[in-house]
Structure 1
Amino acid sequence: MCGLRLLCVCALVLVPGFVLAQESGDLGVPAGEAETALESPVDPETYVLGPGDGLFISLTGSITDMYWGSVTLQGRLYLKTPVSRVTIGEASNLRIPVYKTIDRIQVSGMTLANAEKKANEVASKYFKDVQVSLGLARFRRCKVFVVGDVFKPGVVGATPVTRASEVLKRAELQGTASRASIELLRGGDVHSIINLYSFELTGDASANPFVMDGDIIMVPAMKKRVTVRGAVYGSGVYSLRISALTAEQTRTSEGIYELEAGDKATEIVRKAGGVAPWADLRNSYVKRRTGAESKAIKIGVDLEKVLVEGDTLADVLMEDGDILVIPSVEDVVYVEGAVNAPGAILYQPELGALSYIGLAGGPTDRASMGRVKVRRPNGDIISANGNPEIRRGDAVIVPEVTLRWWQDYLTIGTAVTSVVIAWLTIAR
């Protein structure tokens, strides 16, 4: 009698929660379970069961019932049938089923579909017309071990629908950690190679597998690397540049990125998050050290031709240790030399060199207009003859004449005459 009362009390406590769960569409899932975001419905043909998975077991046919079950720590699932019902309260019509275990099934390591087939095989030994359906209702928690170049090595909690990238995000990759050749070990063997670049840039899900209980993720250091510096949305250190004329802020960053075989400048730019709107694509370049003395050379790479015009021949194959520099577009044009108001002038499109000389107050009387040069931001120097169109960041250089015909000759003659007269006076 005491046992029946205890059963009734337990039922009064549990049944309201069970009913509420039915109304919320989460039948029988224990309260407090955190929801797991899914990227797609669980595939019964591929989902592998393990200890802790929660299931709905549905019986149809001569017996119709549904109950909550979970895979035990030994990897078993208990198959049950209702044998009676208990009424709660004398005036209540609420009746809860009492179950009897008819068999247990070893399901750990089986896919959900195969476990359902096994459950039906077992049920057929006891009933002729009962069908068993298994529905996954709760994911088990599993441990994944992360080692190598991470800030937080050790155990990371996950579920069977957690991807490797989510685990690595919690472990926090170091700046020198590889993102393209991370090993996922399962059962002591390399199960797959994790390539975060491939997943993030192309959406290749095979490069970012789901994790399983006991997986070990080994994060090595980069074998080859390049540095990207300048106007990119990088993950490295960044600073803000403020325009002297407009007070506009632009971000420049510097970071280290892994070099994979065949990577060109455009692949590295994508790894660095892409170029910023203020990037000076035309004047980008690669700094490379070559030879036994590691002499630095500069290789121009016109990213505007590659990224905007689609000229793949203008791309540059990167090498280990290269530095890709993407300067910021200057909002000004510099006019230097023999002008009345030298300095920075706010850039205006479609103006030539002569126009900027005029905006700088015009040439002085000593300006050599036939020898005006234009210096591009990448260091190239061109003649201003023909009044070329000026780009952002250009410098217009107006040199002075060495001698200005009669004025300079008169000045020199006067000075020489003064010296001769003084000498003759002293000689007397």
Structure 2
Amino acid sequence: MKRHIFRRALSATLIMSLLAPVPGFAQQGATGPPAAPPAVPARPVLPAAAPPPPSRIIPGPEYRVGPGDILDVQIAGRLEVIRSQVAVDLEGAVNMPPLGSIPLSGLTLLEAHRRIAARAHAIYKFVDVTVAVVAPRTFEITVSGEVERPGTMTVSATRRLHEVTLEAGGVTPRGSLRRVLVARKSGQAEMDLLRFELRGDLSQNPFVEEGMRILVPPKGPSVMLAGAVRRPGEYEIGPDGSLAALLDLVGGLSQAAAGAEARLTRVGADGRKETLTLDLHTALRAPADVPLQPGDALFVPPLSVLQDVVEVRGAFTGTPESSKTSVAGKATIVQRFELAQGDRVRDVVVRAGGAAAYADLRLTVIERSGQTGPRQRIPVDLHRLLVEKDETQNVLLQNGDVVLLPIVEDKVYVVGEVRTPGGLDFRPDLTPREYVTLAGGPTNRAKLPGTAVTFRNGRTYAMADAPPLEPGAVVTVPEVAVKWWQDYLQIASVLAGLVTAYTGVYILFNGPLSRP
């Protein structure tokens, strides 16, 4: 009972505390004056700064000063430094008391520095003068022609021609990089932006000026450079039309270029293509040159194309650069080597890492493409050359030779009219007829007396006359032309069918046969 009374009293107390009025924040501390907020330390008041430069590019000494530029001029003496930021007025001058009015329009930043310093030295002794552009002027220019976004744009005086064309979306694939027309107050000029891109020639990438008009014309006649040149591709012919100048522009020939074997293909007056062989080392030696024509194509072959080579295939040990292959589960290689004058078979075998342990040294073959005749196969016995030191087998190699080194065969192959043709393990005690038996025996169509045995050296014998078999030999069982009564019965059946068919066709068109 007491517990229930205690709970009710506690609940009533909580309810009354929630309903009781609470003094607001405005009522607190009303007895005295309001407390002052804590003092905030005052920040130093800076003088009004010059407007920030529209470009983050710091103008160099070749920058030309003009109306609207804001210059920072410092005159430092022994005891005092005078610093002021002055604007170039519409007349192109700056007014700097006590130096007075100094005309600067059209001068480079270096020339403006010298002029201000000369005026300061006339008034002050032992002072150093520095001049910098803190806010370059801005103005409008026009970009038209073969750019992605032609039109009028506002640019800073620190911009150059190449940057402006990029801001206009860049030159289109149809546009010319070598004949960009620039119209200024001083006149019109033709700029070669390709020379700036490839060689960094700033004379072809001037600063923009007030009222400048830029026109990118369509691409002019071009030529193709291919092969062993530094930058192969299609290039517009330059204003001088010189092959030597174009090759110099693209970086010249590569180190592996066969300049004496260059080929120039051009379209003649009759519309036909003709190819000329050029020795570039002679043709481009000053003062000689080759004038370019529209559509010319210059190909400079690499030295590797002209280098004599020899190829090895088969059971060689190989080098890290060898292309790995496999024959009958044994590793073989294919690799090309440069052929020096006087190289022979032994030289190439050594460069290929030597013969593998499973190589058939006695059956090496050199395949040689005849210049005027058929392809030749020259047998070489590497066993005699490498083991017996027989130099008659050390054949002199020629460009394009292929040295084939087969693997040692451990099987005899039975093919033709046998029940299970294929390879069988070599056993020196077996005859060709016994190998035919191991292959399942002859089929019903086999002509066993005509069986032939072909050895790896290419020689073929009749089975009865064949010498003892060697690994890699092939036993061929031919097919009989006519097999006794089976073939005759089949022939008779075919003839009977033809007679029946002919008779049926005759009756169909001429009626039944009538007796006389």
Q: Give the deviation of 1:288 after TM superposition.
A: 0.8
1:210 to 193, 203, 207: 207
One-letter amino acid of the counterpart of residue 261, structure 1: D
Q: Partner of 2:187 in structure 1?
A: 189
1:319 matched to 2:319: no
Structure 1 segments unaligned to the other structure (5+ residues): 1-8, 19-27, 82-101, 235-252, 336-342, 374-386, 398-428
Indicate the structure whose relative CO is greater, using CA pairs within 8 Å and at least 6 residues apart. Answer: 1
Q: Give the deviation of 1:219 after TM superposition.
A: 1.9
Note if contact 2:308-2:340 (Cα within 8 Å) is conserved in structure 1. no
SS in 2 for 1:147: strand
1:256 matched to 2:254: no
Question: Following the alignment from structure 1 to structure 2, what is the Cα–Cα distance between the partners of residues 356 and 143?
Answer: 77
Question: Following the alignment from structure 2 to structure 1, what is the Cα–Cα distance between the partners of residues 347 and 266?
Answer: 37
Q: Partner of 2:464 in structure 1?
A: none
Per-residue CA deviation, residues 206-249 of structure 1 (Å, 9 max, x unaligned), is 44333222212222223332122334443xxxxxxxxxxxxxxx
1:48 matched to 2:65: yes
Question: Following the alignment from structure 1 to structure 2, what is the Cα–Cα distance between the partners of residues 296 and 119?
Answer: 66
Question: Following the alignment from structure 1 to structure 2, what is the Cα–Cα distance between the partners of residues 135 and 345?
Answer: 68
One-letter amino acid of the counterpart of residue 336, structure 2: L
Note if contact 1:80-1:103 (Cα within 8 Å) is conserved in structure 2. yes
TM score, norm. by length of structure 1? 0.51
1:270 matched to 2:302: no
Note if contact 2:70-2:85 (Cα within 8 Å) is conserved in structure 1. no
Q: Give the deviation of 1:354 after TM superposition.
A: 6.9
Alignment of 1:329-368 (within 5 A): 329-330=304-305, 333=309, 346-351=336-341, 362-363=365-366
Q: Partner of 1:174 in structure 2?
A: 172
2:223 to 226, 251, 263: 226
Structure 2 segments unaligned to the other structure (5+ residues): 1-40, 312-332, 353-363, 376-395, 403-516
1:141 matched to 2:138: yes
Shift in CA distance, 350/332, structure 1 to aligned 2, threshold 3 Å: closer
Question: Following the alignment from structure 2 to structure 1, what is the Cα–Cα distance between the partners of residues 371 and 272?
Answer: 38
**CA-atom RMSD, angstroms?**
5.5
Note if contact 2:309-2:339 (Cα within 8 Å) is conserved in structure 1. no
Alignment of 1:1-80 (within 5 A): 12-14=44-46, 34-37=55-58, 42=61, 47-56=64-73, 65-71=82-88, 77=94, 79=96
SS in 2 for 1:288: strand
Shift in CA distance, 202/372, structure 1 to aligned 2, threshold 3 Å: farther
Shift in CA distance, 325/155, structure 1 to aligned 2, threshold 3 Å: farther
SS in 1 for 2:273: strand
Per-residue CA deviation, residues 238-271 of structure 1 (Å, 9 max, x unaligned), is xxxxxxxxxxxxxxx532332433412x433333
Identity of aligned residues (%): 21
Question: Following the alignment from structure 1 to structure 2, what is the Cα–Cα distance between the partners of residues 54 and 205?
Answer: 24
Question: Following the alignment from structure 2 to structure 1, what is the Cα–Cα distance between the partners of residues 397 and 275?
Answer: 25
SS in 2 for 1:14: coil
Question: Following the alignment from structure 2 to structure 1, what is the Cα–Cα distance between the partners of residues 118 and 253?
Answer: 58
One-letter amino acid of the counterpart of residue 268, structure 2: T
1:302 matched to 2:321: no
Q: Partner of 2:391 in structure 1?
A: none
Question: Following the alignment from structure 1 to structure 2, what is the Cα–Cα distance between the partners of residues 58 and 32?
Answer: 22
Q: Give the deviation of 1:169 after TM superposition.
A: 4.5
More strand by share: 1
Question: Following the alignment from structure 1 to structure 2, what is the Cα–Cα distance between the partners of residues 348 and 280?
Answer: 16
Per-residue CA deviation, residues 310-368 of structure 1 (Å, 9 max, x unaligned), is 85698643212111123454488477xxxxxxx9851325245876998896446x986
SS in 1 for 2:246: helix
Q: Give the deviation of 1:185 after TM superposition.
A: 0.6
Per-residue CA deviation, residues 27-58 of structure 1 (Å, 9 max, x unaligned), is x66567654255xx526xx8332214333375
SS in 2 for 1:347: strand
1:290 to 261, 268, 271: 268
Question: Following the alignment from structure 1 to structure 2, what is the Cα–Cα distance between the partners of residues 74 and 283?
Answer: 63
Question: Following the alignment from structure 2 to structure 1, what is the Cα–Cα distance between the partners of residues 178 and 369?
Answer: 58
Note if contact 1:54-1:137 (Cα within 8 Å) is conserved in structure 2. yes
Question: Following the alignment from structure 2 to structure 1, what is the Cα–Cα distance between the partners of residues 370 and 222?
Answer: 48
Name the count of aligned residue pairs. Answer: 304
